[in-house]
Structure 1
Amino acid sequence: MTDHSSRLDALETRIAYQDQTIEELNATITAQWRQIDLLTRKLETMEQQVRSGVHIADPATEPPPPHY
């Protein structure tokens, strides 16, 4: 009977760690999707600006900042 009890304890412990890992992974994925959505919106805004002819300066042609 002790063998069953120890196996059950081991399984419960394992499930608890798995549940914690799943929650952490879910939080990570949710944060990544938020970031992807934000970056997608920014990219769409930049594409609209380029299509509408808004001048976006090329950093290579800009003079260096005064602190250089």
Structure 2
Amino acid sequence: MSDALEARVMELEIRLAHQEDLLQSLNQTMIEQQQRIDSLQLQMEGLRQRLAAVIENPLMDPNQEPPPPHY
């Protein structure tokens, strides 16, 4: 193999190694982001359920609430 061809193959192998490393890093980032999204969706659903429960059964009749202190 000529020196130029060998250098070119070496450069391509280096680029491939960097791309494989980058791809692995991006895949890991996507996995972590999906886990965060899943966690946030669970939290959001819990908050929706709590809000629905409060709307259905408020602790106090809104008409009986005292006015705020600045009135």
Q: Normalising to structure 1: TM-score of the pair?
A: 0.76
Higher relative contact order (CA 8 A, sep 6+): 1
| Equivalent in the alignment of 1:48 | 49
| Equivalent in the alignment of 2:61 | none
Q: Normalising to structure 2: TM-score of the pair?
A: 0.73
| Equivalent in the alignment of 1:31 | 32
- The answer as to 2:23 corresponding to 1:22 is yes
Opposite residue 42 of structure 1, the aligned amino acid is: Q
How many aligned residue pairs are there? 56
Q: What residue ranges of structure 1 are gaps of 5+ in the alignment?
A: 56-68
Q: Give the superposition deviation at 1:34.
A: 0.0
Q: Distance in 2 between matches of 1:19 and 1:7?
A: 18
Q: Give the superposition deviation at 1:52.
A: 1.1
Identity over aligned residues, as a percent?
27
- Structure 1 runs (4+) deviating above 6 angstroms are none
Superposed CA deviations along residues 10-67 of structure 1, whole A, max 9, x for unmatched, are 0000000000000001001100000000000000000011001177xxxxxxxxxxxx
| Equivalent in the alignment of 1:9 | 10
More helix by share: 2
Please tell me the root mean square deviation across aligned C-alpha atoms, in Å. 1.7
